[in-house]
Structure 1
Amino acid sequence: MSATIRSAALIGASVLTLAGCASAEPDYMAVVPTGRPEPAAVIQTPVRESTAFTLGTDQPRAPEQLAMQFDKADLSIKVLPDQKAIDAVAVLDFTATSRLEAVVVELDTLLAVSSVQVDGQEIGPDGWSNPEGRMTIRLPQPVEADGKVSVRIAYAGQPRVAPQAPWDGGFVWATAPSGEPWIATAIQPEGCDIFWPCIDHPAAEPKRVDLHITVPSNLSAPSNGRFLGTVDHGDGWTTWNWSAANPNTYAIALNIGPYVELKADYRSRFGNTVPMSFWHLRSDDPVKAQALFDQFTPMMDFYEATVGPFPFGDEKMGVVETPHLGMEHQTINAYGNAYKLDGKGYDWLLHHELAHEWFGNQMTNRNADDMWLHEGLGSYMQPLYLRWLHGDRYMQAELLEQRNQLKNRFPVVSGEERTEDEVYKDDAGPGLDLYNKGSLIAHSLRMLIGDEAFFRSVTRLVYGRPDPQPGNFTTRSATTDEFLAIVNEESGRDLTWFFQGYLYQAVLPDLRQTRDGNTLTLEWITGDGAAFPMPVEVEIDGRRTVVPMTGGRGRVTAPAGAHVLIDPGNKILRRDVFIEEWKAQPGA
């Protein structure tokens, strides 16, 4: 549903740099604590390239796609490591919401279609077309509203190879240290149509996806949802069966390798038990693998205490080691951080991708223009987790690292429909500001309205209700405007000015100060010149007072010679000239 890059989402807990974001979202998509993109485990140049349409995602849906509901996808995929190819059959079930004369899905033209059937009837080559990767299948007879239609598509070929996963995605065909094939998909920037026929849009999630992944019998194939067992065919091939409810389309993931599974149960504070699994390479240091797995429980406890119940408790909380850095994949998050320590007492990559189970998979933005709901709120969980673990000093240090990375070149939200490329790439959109600025805006909002109103707002945004319990909610989509309406209700005030001043302006609000005798005058200047009545705490010779800032202006008595400190608790995100001067110097 976020996430991340495109959900992908990956963001470092420290200094962050956009790497095409796994957009991962390439989590455009993963970034690392050093501030430099992590080299991909495998960098390969594809011989063939997908069309520009296929490489885009979150694009406007065709009229036929708006006229049908995606009920189920049943995907049987045989992965052929030696040929770097797949051989697959997809059965897609839809319900018409209005008269339907054709079914339209997306599928990469790199994959050759050998058969198309509608409700068991073979459709000849003249009955379907797939120009540029948008496949139109004419129905033998129209389907009226509430009618059902089932489409079967057989296809095969060599799917797009990721030039640099997860930032520039596709398939990763790697080799494990022990010599076996090690394969993963990372497709947030490009979308589900890279390897299965789908409607490549966040609002078109199927209600269920069943996966039947056939791989060499010496390998494992952990994937999304509940494990339904394996079938050993006795010919060197084994099929792994999975079933996932309401999955984010780009989050459907293939992961194949010589894995060892660590398993445990999480006893939720909401009364249910959640299976947890970590599939790591057989060649890994078992002590390091166990140490990472031991982090699952405290992270789950933090998120449940902070946001609400783990959204997919009847399936699993799953993580799999991958030959790329990582990406959020619903119930099977990709992890490739190599167990690195950074002195913060937790694995930032594991934590950030787990955030997307709430911010991205449970709650999905309706359009990429609202991607900060995934990345910004998800990134704010990291300074909050540092406080949970170590106290205020560590939270503030993390917020400062995020503050120092701001670009402020584009608004976080434009107010217009955008594609993921337009928001994740920092030459066209907010880029890493989705993460860092989004997090800092969330912090300023929390400081303004208080913990109770803030966290109740976040919970309502994620679950669509204030009292989530296992079994009383389902996945949902949301917008920035909806979050504003929730915040207004929970805080009992109209905070349109706050959202407008922070999210819809590229520049930060600027707090101007003038002294006239014993009077200190403060004035907020915003990108659009609108009033910004953000109260300001001022410390004068050690004594603190709050200046109301009605209409964006306020005054306070400050005797000549008194030491004045603005916002001593660092509660407000605002322009800081000294940071701009630092960044403007050569080499900064």
Structure 2
Amino acid sequence: MKAIHFRFFLIAIILITFSNITFADSGGPLKPEQAAYDVTYYYLDLSIDPDNQTIDGSLLCQVTIIDPINILLLDLADVFLVSNVEISINNSDFQQTSYSHQNELLEIDIPEDVNPDDIVSCKIFYNGAPKISQGPPWDAGFVWDTTSDDQHWLGVACQFQGGDIWWPCKDHPSDEPDSMNISFTVPNPLVCVSNGQYLGFEDNGDNTSTYHWFVSVPINNYNVTFYAADFLLIEDDYESTIGNDIPFRFWVLPEDYETAVNYMDVFQQEFDFLEEICGPFPFGTDKHGWAHAPYWGMEHQSIIAYGHNFTTNAWGYDYIHLHELAHEWWGNLLTAKNWADVWIHEGIATYTEALYVEQLSGIESYFNFMRDHQPYPGPSPLAPFEDMTAEDAFNFLDPYSKGASVMHTLRYHLGDDQFFELLKRWAYPDPDDLGNEDGRQCRLVDTEDLKIQAEEVTGVELDPFWSVFYREASFPQLRVNRETEQTSFEWLTEQNVPLDLNVPITINGDEYTVEMVNGYGSIAMSIEDDLEIDPNDWILMQNPEIIVGLDDLSFSERENQLMQNYPNPFSGNTVVEFYLSKSQHAKVCIYDQLGNRLFTLTNKVHIKGKHQISFNKGKLPAGLYYYRLISDEGIITKKLQIID
């Protein structure tokens, strides 16, 4: 199984396995009490005790009031004991206030009336044993690991459940602080690294040291993190595409230091590629940071987790490094304000992998990569309108493969010039501000925002495309009607959207494009010509329904027929033909030799006549299979042979 599919199924397995753990999911509908304020600043100060696997410290939270409220509502896991809360209004002296902590919510009483634009600050003192991850990074929690020489090796990841599994915060993707200070105290000789700029450390004289960090730009709560081990530091400066020096820092375990140093050319090449297609690295003011992590990887802003053992895959790149680094643009610079739009993070990051394969090995390798990441049809649109939790979004939307495949189709629809200009403009809306590397263009967006911006950049009306590929669960399907001297094409969509997506075809090996207007198009060609639809698989769609004119029939029209597929045997695509004697419900399925149904090629009411369905073997191994026409008039079965 290839990388992205493997990761997606691991997510599903882990979510099912640990669904009995009672920690609140991140995201979902924003609570009215939390919509009433905007977080502007956090200061997280924690002592970490790896021997007892506990934390103890405080959080300073500063917010600006939007609507009058009498409580400040934050999220915090119930495993922690809150020992004290202090509050300040409009920079007054801090005073103790009452609070309630239950059901993963921390309600802090505001002792006087507050109005829009008032500033409320609170200090929360808490301690406890945080949730331990059973499968990082997909199952949220702390990682208390050890290195090969039995030194502590620590970390935390919390994308699905959010930052509130270990620190008090407003756990919703629609709000980020403008900046954040972070301090961690750890036992010597551990080095503790985190997001943002390194401000220094102090030895406390009690066999512990405190490390200080400052995040100068907005950051999502699940991206706040730390790593602690007896790290060595690899330092360098990368030159940006716009000529600026970007501090590169990689904290690595001593045992892998030499391997990491020799591997840095891979990091550099992939970094240069992403700057080329996405625009300048967005967090140069803080750092381009990486930490050797006790888990696979995670896109923590300016300090990305790397646990991939310095290896490249069969496509020729380090997919953990490339994918997680791509999130600095797609997820951290540009952040989905609703988890229902998480394709913006995962779909675009996955698609950058395809583009890198194209640069490494050419367009045919790119096409093969996209075929390998073809999504399976699912019950949900890629970007539903509803508010979703992170867990539901990752579990049901297939943001990786489907998100990347829609980007692939969008590239075809717009053409390369407009598409690649759009990719940079999504990251940097102002083309005169590509020199900005201080994160001030960090912004929260949704699917509709990106459509509006795409229309502004390209001048193309994208409502039909967005409606079909982002808002409908089903892939569109082409109905192709082959007559004696003409073939017509019609897009069939879930909501009958008049899709204006042109169709690439070949006729007897020559390339043509069928222009589709209001969902319809046609081309002059003989019914005897060899027609191939979308030979490079640009368009994410169902298998076409091909209807052949009745004057071409050479068999009895009084009964249903299932013809032998052609070519047969086959190694890639084959065509299944069947004839229906009248309009009726018909289903065509592929089965293995044990009778297990593997694919359903069609399952609906068809009109009278001859029909063709293209079938791609996908990942099926070579061997003998069966295909069946199941209709109102009975079942017809034939064999087909797949070869390598």
State the TM-score, normalized to the length of structure 2: 0.80
Check 1:194–1:410 CA distance in 2 against 1; reply closer, same or farther (3 A cut): same
AA aligned opposite 1:440:
S
Q: Are 1:495 and 2:462 an aligned pair?
A: yes
Alpha-carbon shift at residue 178 of structure 1 (Å): 1.4
Q: Deviations over 1:233-269 (max 9, x none)?
A: 1221011111112111100012111212211111001
AA aligned opposite 1:476:
R
Measured in 1, the distance between the counterparts of 2:118 and 2:503 equals 59
The aligned counterpart of 1:470 is 435
The aligned counterpart of 2:487 is 520
Q: Which among 392, 400, 413 is matched to residue 422 of structure 1?
A: 392
Q: Are 1:123 and 2:87 an aligned pair?
A: no
Q: Are 1:279 and 2:251 an aligned pair?
A: yes
Equivalent residues of 2:248, 2:287 under 8 A apart: yes
The aligned counterpart of 1:4 is none
Higher relative contact order (CA 8 A, sep 6+): 1
Aligned 1:340-355 pairs, distance under 5 A: 340-355=311-326
Equivalent residues of 1:313, 1:470 under 8 A apart: no
Q: Which among 453, 457, 460 is matched to residue 418 of structure 2?
A: 453
Alpha-carbon shift at residue 85 of structure 1 (Å): 0.4
The aligned counterpart of 1:385 is 356
Alpha-carbon shift at residue 22 of structure 1 (Å): 9.6
The aligned counterpart of 2:227 is 255
Equivalent residues of 2:28, 2:339 under 8 A apart: no
Q: Which among 579, 585, 588 is matched to residue 598 of structure 2?
A: 585
SS in 1 for 2:431: coil
AA aligned opposite 1:401:
D
CA radius of gyration, larger in: 2
Measured in 1, the distance between the counterparts of 2:591 and 2:212 equals 54
SS in 2 for 1:144: coil
* Structure 2 residues without counterparts, runs of 5 or longer: 545-572, 575-588, 600-618, 621-644
The aligned counterpart of 2:628 is none
Q: Which moved more, 1:128-137 or 1:575-584?
A: 575-584
Q: Which among 164, 177, 200 is matched to residue 135 of structure 2?
A: 164
Check 1:563–1:62 CA distance in 2 against 1; reply closer, same or farther (3 A cut): closer
Check 1:482–1:571 CA distance in 2 against 1; reply closer, same or farther (3 A cut): same
SS in 2 for 1:353: helix
Check 1:118–1:14 CA distance in 2 against 1; reply closer, same or farther (3 A cut): closer
Aligned 1:540-579 pairs, distance under 5 A: 540-576=507-543
Check 1:155–1:14 CA distance in 2 against 1; reply closer, same or farther (3 A cut): closer
The aligned counterpart of 1:484 is 451
Q: Are 1:313 and 2:313 an aligned pair?
A: no
The aligned counterpart of 2:62 is 93
The aligned counterpart of 1:152 is 123
Q: Are 1:412 and 2:382 an aligned pair?
A: yes
Measured in 2, the distance between the counterparts of 1:481 and 1:282 equals 47
The aligned counterpart of 2:304 is 333
The aligned counterpart of 2:499 is 532
Equivalent residues of 1:50, 1:160 under 8 A apart: no
Q: What's the RMSD between the two structures over aligned residues?
A: 2.6
Measured in 2, the distance between the counterparts of 1:68 and 1:423 equals 25
Q: Which moved more, 1:415-424 or 1:72-81?
A: 415-424
* Structure 1 residues without counterparts, runs of 5 or longer: 1-10, 29-36, 38-42
AA aligned opposite 2:598:
Q
SS in 2 for 1:289: helix
SS in 2 for 1:295: helix
SS in 1 for 2:210: strand
Equivalent residues of 1:264, 1:275 under 8 A apart: yes
Q: Displaced runs of 4+ in structure 1, greater than 6 A?
A: 577-580
Equivalent residues of 1:96, 1:145 under 8 A apart: yes
Q: Deviations over 1:417-460 (max 9, x none)?
A: 222122111xxx22xx2111111111111111122322332333
Q: Are 1:80 and 2:49 an aligned pair?
A: yes
The aligned counterpart of 2:638 is none
Aligned residues: 548
Alpha-carbon shift at residue 17 of structure 1 (Å): 4.6
Check 1:400–1:174 CA distance in 2 against 1; reply closer, same or farther (3 A cut): same
Q: Are 1:402 and 2:373 an aligned pair?
A: yes
SS in 2 for 1:447: helix
Check 1:241–1:18 CA distance in 2 against 1; reply closer, same or farther (3 A cut): same
Measured in 1, the distance between the counterparts of 2:2 and 2:34 equals 36
The aligned counterpart of 1:266 is 238
Measured in 2, the distance between the counterparts of 1:530 and 1:59 equals 29
Equivalent residues of 2:183, 2:212 under 8 A apart: yes
Measured in 2, the distance between the counterparts of 1:486 and 1:301 equals 26
Equivalent residues of 1:13, 1:382 under 8 A apart: no
AA aligned opposite 1:357:
E
The aligned counterpart of 2:476 is 509
Measured in 1, the distance between the counterparts of 2:535 and 2:267 equals 35
Measured in 1, the distance between the counterparts of 2:5 and 2:214 equals 37
Q: Deviations over 1:264-289 (max 9, x none)?
A: 111001121111111221122x4431
The aligned counterpart of 1:246 is 218
SS in 2 for 1:444: helix
Equivalent residues of 2:65, 2:115 under 8 A apart: yes
SS in 1 for 2:185: strand
Give the percent of matched residue pairs that are identical in Structure 1 and Structure 2.
31
Measured in 2, the distance between the counterparts of 1:102 and 1:503 equals 38
Alpha-carbon shift at residue 20 of structure 1 (Å): 5.7
Equivalent residues of 2:159, 2:390 under 8 A apart: no
Q: Deviations over 1:172-212 (max 9, x none)?
A: 11111111111110100110111111100112211111111
AA aligned opposite 2:255:
S
SS in 2 for 1:141: coil
Q: Which among 89, 104, 115 is matched to residue 133 of structure 1?
A: 104
Alpha-carbon shift at residue 462 of structure 1 (Å): 2.5
Q: Which moved more, 1:529-538 or 1:209-218?
A: 529-538
Q: Which among 393, 396, 407 is matched to residue 442 of structure 1?
A: 407
The aligned counterpart of 2:81 is 112
SS in 2 for 1:65: helix
Measured in 2, the distance between the counterparts of 1:63 and 1:262 equals 46
Aligned 1:212-223 pairs, distance under 5 A: 212-223=183-194
